[in-house]
């Protein structure tokens, strides 16, 4: 198992480029299941989750090529089953349910188990698809869905704005007969990217980015070429890296229009962030000040940046409160940060971070993707050596992180247990 060895305390300086968005690429690649034709994708990030998605598409009978950020998915005789071995490594595999039902009128998808950041049920995905006429039962740990007469347009409202649930329903609705109106949908930019992709394939979707989406079903979706949007969470992670190391980074290919909540908090904490030369120039000229954060669905502060911001609070003067409202059990990074000298007290879904203490390098363990990113940031800020173990979590969502950080001056390398 690989680890990252980081010698911290070096201000990062230079240009760093953001890759394609993981959370946009996953549903947009899955959407190819619903497309009758060849799809060409650009700006596809080199991530473990993308490899898993490509494997799933292959298992489902699609032919794929993927190299240097370009992927091509074409027609093939299609299967209907997403096996447990894949779904257990990537919960987003459940996103094949909607497009499979739309295209094949049947799907068998392993029920995702629990994961490190809480229960994460899929009841809303199933309820939405049931509204469109699908029937489900649970067979040997698999969700088996059928709609023998095809899906039908429907009018329904989600109990909460779920990102994956909205995406599954959206992909299904494109090929349903008639009009679908979905209320209380998630408004994340990745959903807008998915809708834009589907519209490029011939779908009729309106309202993406607002809380009501209307879809007029079509008979067929056609192949197209599409570039995936840049990753706002990777971009935010780099901005924090500039802040906690006291460096100056020009973060290029930033989807800054979708990052207002994060950029706002970083400015409130004393960072200077300016649009410049096709990117965001980020620095922390004076000591960082603590801020409070409270995670919310988009356009609020994203839960996927909570762990990284907590590292910034550890390095800032004063105390800050972190409230996690989206996921239960998303403070797995806290105990590891405490081992590096942080002062954090967790009380239910809140964490009080008392800043102003110098972090010290230590051996730590990543428990999930964003917790792993936070530990890398802590390692970059800390004095001495940090060894981040179980970096396979980080490989799921950060494209060539070690290379990118090394290029801006970080002392970070990947080591194998044998090294
Ligand atoms: C997606 C993102 C993830 C991000 C999250 C919230 C992808 C691949 N992953 O995850 O990085 O952290 O959005 O922005 O895009 N819920 C239910 N029932 C459901 C569905 C969700 O109760 O059927 C609950 C979840 O337990 C959670 C909340 O709704 O508490 C939000 O989850 P959701 O928006 O669905 O997150 P994901 O799509 O899993």
pLDDT at 113: 63
Ligand 1 centroid vs 94 CA: distance in angstroms? 12
Is there a contact between 52 and 93 (Cβ–Cβ < 8 Å)? yes
pLDDT at 165: 97
- Ligand 1 atom closest to residue 122's alpha carbon, by position in its atom list: 23
C-beta 125 within 6 A of ligand 1: yes
Q: Is residue 116 pLDDT above 70, yes or no?
A: no
Q: Which CATH superfamily is domain 22-227 in?
A: Enolpyruvate transferase domain (3.65.10.10)
**Top-tier CATH class for 2-19+230-416:** alpha beta
* pLDDT, averaged across the chain: 95
Looking at residues 256-260, what average pLDDT do you find? 97
pLDDT at 118: 60
First to last CA, the chain: 11
Tens digit of each residue's pLDDT (9 = 90 or more) over 42-69: 999 999 999 999 999 999 999 999 999 9
Looking at residues 276-281, what average pLDDT do you find? 90
Does 22-227 match 2-19+230-416 at the fold level? yes
C-beta 367 within 6 A of ligand 1: no
C-beta 166 within 6 A of ligand 1: no
Ligand 1 centroid vs 359 CA: distance in angstroms? 32
User: 277: pLDDT confidence band, cut at 50, 70 and 90?
Assistant: confident
pLDDT at 405: 98
Looking at residues 320-325, what average pLDDT do you find? 97
Concerning whether 147 is annotated as a catalytic residue, the answer is: no
DSSP secondary structure of 158-211: -SS--HHHHHHHHHHHTTSBSEEEEES----HHHHHHHHHHHHTT-EEE-BTBS
Report the alpha-carbon distance of residue 288 to residue 244 in Å, rounded.
8
Q: Is residue 191 pLDDT above 90, yes or no?
A: yes
User: 198: pLDDT confidence band, cut at 50, 70 and 90?
Assistant: very high
pLDDT at 267: 98
C-beta 164 within 6 A of ligand 1: yes
Tens digit of each residue's pLDDT (9 = 90 or more) over 331-378: 999 999 999 999 999 999 999 999 998 999 999 999 999 999 999 999
Least confident of 4-18, 108-122, 280-294, 322-336: 108-122
Tens digit of each residue's pLDDT (9 = 90 or more) over 131-175: 999 999 998 889 999 999 999 999 999 999 999 999 999 999 999
The residue from 72, 74, 96, 115 that is catalytic is 115
C-beta 162 within 6 A of ligand 1: yes
Q: Is residue 229 pLDDT above 70, yes or no?
A: yes
Looking at residues 243-259, what average pLDDT do you find? 97
Ligand 1 centroid vs 95 CA: distance in angstroms? 12
Which of 136, 164, 193 for a ligand 1 pocket mutation test, highest count of atoms within 8 Å of Cβ?
Answer: 164
Q: Which helix (H) or strand (E) holds 413?
A: strand 411-416
Q: Which residues pair with 109 in a beta bridge?
A: 82, 143
Report domain extents, the chain: 2-19+230-416, 22-227
Full-prediction pTM beyond 0.75?
A: yes
Q: Is residue 111 pLDDT above 60, yes or no?
A: yes
C-beta 48 within 6 A of ligand 1: no
């Amino acid at each position: 198992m690989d680890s990252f060895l980081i010698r911290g305390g070096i201000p990062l300086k230079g240009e760093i480029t953001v890759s394609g968005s993981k959370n946009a690429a996953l549903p947009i690649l899955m959407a190819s299941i619903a497309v009758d034709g060849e799809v060409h994708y650009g700006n596809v990030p080199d991530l473990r989750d993308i490899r898993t998605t490509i494997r799933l598409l292959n298992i489902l009978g699609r032919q794929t090529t993927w190299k240097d950020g370009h992927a091509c998915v074409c027609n093939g005789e299609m299967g209907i089953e997403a096996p447990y071995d894949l779904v257990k490594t990537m919960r987003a595999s459940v996103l094949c349910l909607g497009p499979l039902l739309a295209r094949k009128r049947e799907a068998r998808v392993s029920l995702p188990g629990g994961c490190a950041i809480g229960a994460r049920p899929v009841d809303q995905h199933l309820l939405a698809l049931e509204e469109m006429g699908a029937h489900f039962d649970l067979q040997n740990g698999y969700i088996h869905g059928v709609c023998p007469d095809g899906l039908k347009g429907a009018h329904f409202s989600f109990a909460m704005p779920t990102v994956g649930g909205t995406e599954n329903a959206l992909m299904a609705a494109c090929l349903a007969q008639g009009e679908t109106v979905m209320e209380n949908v998630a408004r994340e930019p990745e959903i807008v990217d998915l809708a834009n992709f589907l519209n490029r394939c011939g779908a009729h979707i309106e309202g993406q980015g607002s809380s009501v989406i209307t879809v007029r079903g079509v008979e067929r979706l056609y192949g197209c070429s599409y570039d995936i949007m840049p990753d706002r969470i990777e971009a935010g992670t780099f901005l924090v890296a500039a802040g906690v190391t006291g460096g100056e980074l020009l973060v290029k290919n930033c989807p800054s229009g979708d990052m207002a909540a994060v950029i706002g908090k970083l400015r409130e904490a004393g960072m200077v962030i300016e649009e410049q030369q096709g990117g965001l120039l980020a620095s922390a000229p004076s000591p960082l000040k603590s801020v409070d954060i409270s995670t919310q669905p988009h356009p609020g502060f994203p839960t996927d940046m909570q762990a990284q911001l907590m590292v910034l609070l550890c390095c800032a003067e004063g105390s800050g409160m972190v409230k996690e409202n989206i996921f239960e059990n998303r403070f797995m990074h806290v105990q590891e940060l405490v081992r590096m000298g942080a002062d954090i007290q967790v009380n239910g879904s809140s964490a009080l971070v008392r800043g102003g203490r110098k972090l010290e390098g230590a051996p730590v363990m990543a428990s999930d993707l964003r917790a792993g990113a936070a530990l890398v940031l802590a390692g970059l800020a800390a004095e001495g050596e940090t060894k981040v173990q179980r970096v396979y979590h980080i490989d799921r969502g950060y494209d060539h992180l070690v290379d990118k950080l090394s290029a801006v001056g970080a002392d970070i390398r990947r080591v194998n247990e044998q090294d």
